[in-house]
A and B are shown apart, each in its own frame.
Chain A
Amino acid sequence: MDHKINESSLKATLLAIGSALIITIILLTFSSNKPVQSIAFFFTGPFSNVYNFGNMLNKAGLLIIAGLGISIAFRAGMFNLGGEGQVYAGATAAVLISIYINFTNRYIGIITAVSIGVLSGALIAGVSGWLRKKWKTDELISSFLLSGIIIHFTDYLISGPFKDNSSFLNSTIKIPNTLFLKQLMATSNFNISFYIAVIITFAAFIFLFKTPMGYEIRLSGLNRNFAKYGGIPIKRHLIIPMIISGGLYGAAGSFAAMGNFHMGIKGFTQGFGWNGIAVALIAGNNPAFIIPGALIFAYIDAGTQVAMIHSDLSFEFGNLIKAVIFFLITAKKFNFKKGGIS
């Protein structure tokens, strides 16, 4: 079967984000003892100090990378639902390389670790693409199942053979200080990965819209039969987009590991795979809109976090807000009334 993601209209995007904000306010009003204060924290929190602002930008950078990968896959008509596992594996692979290989040169060390992270993600997603090409195994389900296997296997690595026994956390030991991505904005996590994300965005835009392969990928996604009759090697474009999206998920994971966490913690990349999909959809799978899309998503995320820290709120409602965005982001019609076949 072929899965298609139609580009969401601007109206749908605004509706989804607007509804998410309204539901946020409603939830804050009902579940906080000081609703006005919590709502104020939600909206102003991300800008209240350099620390929150830097973290928000850093998060946006990682989301840009993940979102770009997934939008290229969506453009090709390929569904990569294994982002959770690909980010987690990429991050953990980068951490393990950093710990167990003694790098003398800081830059070589960072580049090697990130490359290994990218390769891990690309490999995992590539398997699903390959299965699709070889035996028409549905990549939507296979990527999710593979991700389920990888997540539990990585959990095992972190809490088993590579566990730091002196720590209370289920985590590996820290990577060497020299391999940390340098903090560029006070004590926040903001680091070079944001700039790299912006560069990759331009590269992805050029790749998708200005190169022959980008054209082939887009055409394969629009109509695989038409592309085939046009002489496009469509089978290749079952694998390449998966590898690109998995690789970029791996990159996002590696940057998160080297820049934010500095070690592998059990489950530390949770939710990232889905968030990447959300950002791609907010941007209508267009690299040109990925940066604003990621900033909006990171803003909502940071806002809920700040509001939660400063009030009596449960930590959980951030996930609800994201689900609401997901629910409405691909809406094409706003026919709330019953009846009418369209």
Chain B
Amino acid sequence: MISSIMFMNTPILLAAIGGLLTELAGVLNIALEGLMLIGAFTAVIITKFTGSMLLGTIGAALAGMSLAYLFGFITLRLKTNIFITGLATNLFAIGITNYLSSIIFGTKGVIRFPSSSKILNIGGINLFVYIGIILTIISIWIIYKTVFGLRLRATGFNSSVVQIKGLDPNNMQMKSIIISGALSGLGGAALSLNLGAYVPNMTAGRGWIALVAIYLGRKHPVGIFITSIFFAGSVYFSNTAQGIFQIPADLLLGFPYLITLIAMVIFSILKSRSNNKTLLQ
């Protein structure tokens, strides 16, 4: 059970850590969903043609980075509205994956590859779980112990300070967006490689859950880790409950959104209460 929850947690965790880096640089990254989707798709395509999951995984990260670059380029250089461009990135990811899949495979349905997901298991735990945890630890180090991390946080805190230091805040934001693309792409790969197939729209809101996890985790990697475990756990239990209570699949698909919304509302209630307290004191 714990290993399943840990595994379900991984795609959300990876995307959320990527989103944290952009968030710290002052970019609300709505594109996480699309970045994950393109990663999931690319991982399956490359694995199917080369037979190598390693290449598939690397490809997924690169695909995520490319789409993230497009997102960053349009937002930062053309000065577009970041929310709308984030939405565009998500729509583009859905469009391009369906388009390519119908050109290459003549279907916009499920794409399978000869599954060998057991290869991914080390000590009964999926390899991506280790990758997720290691990258989370690395992210703590990068954010709090390196010059890059300091500059990143400074950019989000007050971009003119960074400018005075002779650095380009856009450049910092661009870097964070590209890294978030790589991490989200990996998250997508974790999703599809383990399943042994690409299913259209298989990210199913995980990018948005990751976004909420960033706030609920108080913008700290450890907090995000705990929050994403909570989300993964609740989805796991709802899946288990389905078997027992025969809940219709459609309702079940809405469940992650429900849990996320409830968690988000509770978070904002607590936050507004603590704000009121500080006002009274």
Q: How far is the CA of A338 from the CA of B170 in the complex (A)?
A: 10
Q: Does A106 contact B (CB under 8 A)?
A: no
Residues of A within 8 A of B88 (CB): 323-324, 326-327
Interface residues as binary, A302-325 with B (CB distance below 8 Å gives 1, 0 otherwise): 000000000000111101101110
Interface residues in A, total, Cβ within 8 A: 57
**Is there contact, CB below 8 Å, between A326 and B91?**
yes
B102 CB to nearest chain A CB (Å) = 4
Q: A142-B261, A152-B257, A316-B99 are in contact. Are A136 and B80 (CB under 8 A)?
A: no
**Is there contact, CB below 8 Å, between A326 and B265?**
no
**Is there contact, CB below 8 Å, between A326 and B254?**
no
**Is there contact, CB below 8 Å, between B84 and A326?**
yes
Q: Which residue of B lies closest to A327 (CB)?
A: B88
Q: A316-B108, A323-B92 are in contact. Are A341 and B163 (CB under 8 A)?
A: yes
Residues of B within 8 A of A281 (CB): 84
Q: How far is the CA of A159 from the CA of B253 in the complex (A)?
A: 14
Q: A277-B84, A328-B80 are in contact. Are A151 and B265 (CB under 8 A)?
A: no
Residues of A within 8 A of B253 (CB): 152, 155
**Is there contact, CB below 8 Å, between A135 and B102?**
no
Residues of A within 8 A of B169 (CB): 341
Residues of A within 8 A of B80 (CB): 327-332
Q: How far is the CA of A319 from the CA of B257 in the complex (A)?
A: 24
Q: Does B183 contact A (CB under 8 A)?
A: no
A140 CB to nearest chain B CB (Å) = 7
**Is there contact, CB below 8 Å, between A145 and B260?**
yes
Q: Does B217 contact A (CB under 8 A)?
A: no
Q: Does A175 contact B (CB under 8 A)?
A: no
**Is there contact, CB below 8 Å, between A136 and B95?**
no
Those of A116-168 within 8 Å (CB) of chain B:
131, 135-138, 140-142, 144-146, 148-153, 155-156, 159-160
A244 CB to nearest chain B CB (Å) = 20
Q: A141-B264, A330-B84, A334-B78 are in contact. Are A341 and B168 (CB under 8 A)?
A: yes
**Is there contact, CB below 8 Å, between A142 and B264?**
yes
Interface SS majority for chain B: helix
Residues of B within 8 A of A135 (CB): 265, 268-269, 271-272
Interface residues as binary, B226-265 with A (CB distance below 8 Å gives 1, 0 otherwise): 0000000000000000000000101101101110110011
Q: Does A89 contact B (CB under 8 A)?
A: no
Q: How far is the CA of A36 from the CA of B251 in the complex (A)?
A: 46
Interface residues as binary, B199-219 with A (CB distance below 8 Å gives 1, 0 otherwise): 000000100100110000000
Q: Does A210 contact B (CB under 8 A)?
A: no
Q: How far is the CA of A212 from the CA of B106 in the complex (A)?
A: 56
Q: Does B165 contact A (CB under 8 A)?
A: no
Q: Which residue of A lies closest to B174 (CB)?
A: A338
Q: A149-B258, A323-B92, A341-B169 are in contact. Are A316 and B264 (CB under 8 A)?
A: no
Q: A145-B260, A329-B84 are in contact. Are A131 and B268 (CB under 8 A)?
A: yes
Q: Find B102's partner among A4, A79, A316 (CB 8 Å cutoff).
A: A316
A23 CB to nearest chain B CB (Å) = 11
Q: Which residue of A lies closest to B102 (CB)?
A: A314
Q: Does B81 contact A (CB under 8 A)?
A: yes
Q: Does A268 contact B (CB under 8 A)?
A: no
Those of B52-96 within 8 Å (CB) of chain A:
70, 74, 77-81, 83-85, 87-89, 91-92, 94-96
**Is there contact, CB below 8 Å, between A336 and B77?**
yes
Residues of A within 8 A of B115 (CB): none
Q: Which residue of B lies closest to A15 (CB)?
A: B78
**Is there contact, CB below 8 Å, between A320 and B92?**
yes
A309 CB to nearest chain B CB (Å) = 15
Residues of A within 8 A of B250 (CB): 152-153, 155-156, 159-160
Q: Does B279 contact A (CB under 8 A)?
A: no
Q: Does B147 contact A (CB under 8 A)?
A: no
Q: Does B1 contact A (CB under 8 A)?
A: no
Q: How far is the CA of A31 from the CA of B83 in the complex (A)?
A: 31
Q: Does B2 contact A (CB under 8 A)?
A: no
Residues of A within 8 A of B77 (CB): 333, 335-338
Q: Does A102 contact B (CB under 8 A)?
A: no
**Is there contact, CB below 8 Å, between A137 and B98?**
no
**Is there contact, CB below 8 Å, between B83 and A3?**
yes
Q: Which residue of A lies closest to B85 (CB)?
A: A327
Residues of B within 8 A of A316 (CB): 95, 98-99, 102, 108
Q: Does A60 contact B (CB under 8 A)?
A: no
A329 CB to nearest chain B CB (Å) = 7
Residues of B within 8 A of A317 (CB): 95, 99
Residues of B within 8 A of A6 (CB): 81
Residues of B within 8 A of A330 (CB): 80-81, 84-85
**Is there contact, CB below 8 Å, between A148 and B79?**
no
Q: Which residue of B lies closest to A332 (CB)?
A: B79
Q: How far is the CA of A326 from the CA of B265 in the complex (A)?
A: 29
**Is there contact, CB below 8 Å, between A320 and B257?**
no
Q: Does A231 contact B (CB under 8 A)?
A: no
Residues of A within 8 A of B254 (CB): 148-153, 156
Q: Which residue of B lies closest to A157 (CB)?
A: B250
Q: Give 13 A-B contacts (CB < 8 Å), ordered by A residue.
A: A135-B272, A145-B212, A145-B257, A148-B254, A149-B254, A149-B257, A153-B250, A159-B250, A274-B91, A316-B99, A322-B91, A332-B78, A333-B77
Q: Beyond the given A148-B208, A328-B78, A335-B78, could you list 15 further A-B residue pairs with CB under 8 A, ordered by the A residue number? A: A137-B265, A148-B254, A149-B257, A153-B251, A155-B253, A314-B103, A316-B98, A316-B108, A319-B99, A320-B99, A322-B95, A327-B80, A331-B79, A333-B78, A336-B78
Residues of A within 8 A of B (CB): 1, 3-6, 31, 79, 81, 131, 135-138, 140-142, 144-146, 148-153, 155-156, 159-160, 274, 277, 281, 314-317, 319-320, 322-324, 326-339, 341-342
